[in-house]
């Protein structure tokens, strides 16, 4: 009787381990897309140009 109980316990543990994952479809998260926006194409040189004009005006007035 003891051997039958041990065998039943081993079969029960093996059966639950076999179905542990289930057959559900994997969940795939959507990729995050980051898009950089710029106000204009002229934004890269306008600020340095203004600073250059300010420095030139300060040198000219000194």
What's the rounded Cα separation, in Å, for the pair 19 and 14?
A: 9
7-60: pLDDT as tens digits: 888 877 776 655 556 677 778 898 889 888 766 655 578 888 899 999 999 998
Task: Give residue 54's pLDDT.
Answer: 92
Distance of CA 20 to CAs 26, 55, 57, Å?
Answer: 14, 73, 77
Q: What is the pTM of this model?
A: 0.33
Q: Identify the pLDDT of residue 21.
A: 62
């Amino acid at each position: 009787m003891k051997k039958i109980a041990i065998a039943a316990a081993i079969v029960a543990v093996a059966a639950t381990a076999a179905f542990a994952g289930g057959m559900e479809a994997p969940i795939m998260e959507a990729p995050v897309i980051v898009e950089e926006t710029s106000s204009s194409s002229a934004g890269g040189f306008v600020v340095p140009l203004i600073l250059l004009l300010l420095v030139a005006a300060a040198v000219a007035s000194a």
